[in-house]
Amino acid sequence: MSQDQTRNNVLGVDIGGTKVAVGLVDREGKILQQVRKPMQAKGSPEAGLQAVFEAIDSLYSGGVQGIGVCAPGPLDPHSGVVLNPPNLPCWRDFPLAERIRSKYSVPVKVDNDANAAALAETRWGAARGYRYVFYATVGTGIGTGIVFDGRIYHGKTGSAGEGGHVSIDYHGPVCGCGKFGCIEILAAGPAIGARARAKFADPFRKSAILDLANGEVSAVTSERVGQAYASGDALAREILQETAELLTIWLGNIVDILDPDVIVMGGGVAAMLSPFFDSIKTGLPAWCVNPRASEIPLVMAHYGPDAGIAGGAALCAE
């Protein structure tokens, strides 16, 4: 692609624990091209950076307006310094934005994936035209982002919008973060798998979930639950309905604090739960004092697996 074609575009970079995805994104949020390269998460800081450079170079031909990077947190979005991400042990207090900027000489922004995806949805996706956006990505974990008036809400230190670790049950199970009863430990993918496996403590329990796992309870995962639900399995429906109820309670808390004008859900588990969005909306008024809770749109994200690329690109377009 020539420099001329890329002049109005930006690069969105999505750094994960195992891969780096890079996309060329136009001003309307359309992903024109993308590549995916391995990440070096466990080596030296420079080896990690080199992996990112290689991924960028495979698409970059100069002329882009900026480079926006989704990276695992914790990080400082103001300085672009990556602090000590558990799944990127190569970096500790690493000045990622500065290093990328000095190589490519374009503006560089760094933020966490949920914040960036929230911004992409606001700018180009399901939250376009809304002022008070709450975005949640539900997958292996639950990440959230808040966008007010078209800008990510970062709070004082850049750690705002960690809604996945809002506890709704302080007597509940311990989360990976150390808190008890966070919505992430109650309703993300692993929780759905665990809830399903617990149902099979009753050895006479029959369900397509178990058939899909070849009869092995230990092989039951949230994916199997989703597949079983799609085939009409009653137990799978029960499990997903219970999960939707927990998300309703949690969203009630969010609504009572933020009073958003839209709630956007992304991620694989959210897609699996989308048939239950109506029941979440119907249940919401019982779990918040906001008198207009039932009027808040609850919608699936526009971007699916490319949310990280779109999110990175949105950071640059801010």
Residues of the shown chain interacting with a copy of itself in the complex, contacts defined by CB under 8 A: 74, 83, 131-132, 146, 154-163, 165-171, 177-179, 181, 246, 249, 252-254, 256-261, 286-292, 296
As measured in angstroms, the least distance from the Cβ of 174 to a copy of itself is 11
Least distance to a copy of itself, CB of residue 292, Å:
5
Minimum Å distance from CB 153 to a copy of itself?
8
Q: Looking at the DSSP assignment, which residues form a beta bridge with residue 133?
A: 147, 262
With H, G, I as helix, E, B as strand and everything else as coil, classify residue 184. Answer: helix
Beta carbons within 8 Å of 181's beta carbon, 6+ residues apart: 167, 168, 169, 170, 171, 172, 173, 175
Q: Which is nearer to a copy of itself, 13 or 166 (CB)?
A: 166
Nearer to a copy of itself, 158 or 189 (CB): 158
Q: How far apart, in whole angstroms, are the C-alpha atoms of residue 92 and residue 302?
A: 33
Q: How far is the CB of 256 from a copy of itself (least distance, A)?
A: 4
Task: Give the nearest distance from C-beta 316 to a copy of itself in angstroms.
Answer: 23
Q: How far is the CB of 211 from a copy of itself (least distance, A)?
A: 33
Closer of 159 and 241 to a copy of itself (Cβ): 159
SS3 assignment, position 174: strand
Q: How far is the CB of 79 from a copy of itself (least distance, A)?
A: 14
CB atoms within 10 A of CB 241: 14
Distance from C-alpha of 315 to C-alpha of 218, rounded to nearest angstrom:
41
Give Cα 165 distance to the centre of its chain: 13
Which residue's CB is nearer to a copy of itself, number 224 or number 281?
281
CA distance 248 to 161: 18
Rounded distance between C-alpha atoms, residue 91 and residue 41, angstroms: 8
Reply yes or no: is the peptide bond before residue 190 cis, omega within 30 of 0.
no
Q: Distance between CA atoms of 65 and 21, rounded to whole angstroms? A: 18
Which residue, 68 or 260, is less far from a copy of itself as judged by CB? 260
Q: In this complex, which beta carbon is closest to a copy of itself, that of residue 153 or of residue 190?
A: 153
How far apart are the C-alpha atoms of 35 and 176, rounded to whole Å?
Answer: 31
Residue whose C-alpha is closest to residue 117's, from 97, 132, 134, 100: 134
Cβ of residue 254: shortest distance to a copy of itself, in angstroms? 7
**Cα 189–Cα 118–Cα 36 angle in degrees, nearest 5:** 70
If the CB atoms of residues 148 and 206 are measured against a copy of itself, the closer one turns out to be 148
| Closer residue to a copy of itself, CB minimum distance, 62 or 155 | 155
Q: What span, in angstroms and rounded, lies between the C-alpha atoms of 188 and 136?
A: 11
Nearer to a copy of itself, 150 or 305 (CB): 150
- CB-based contact 224:194 (threshold 8 Å): no
CB of 248 to a copy of itself, least distance (A): 10
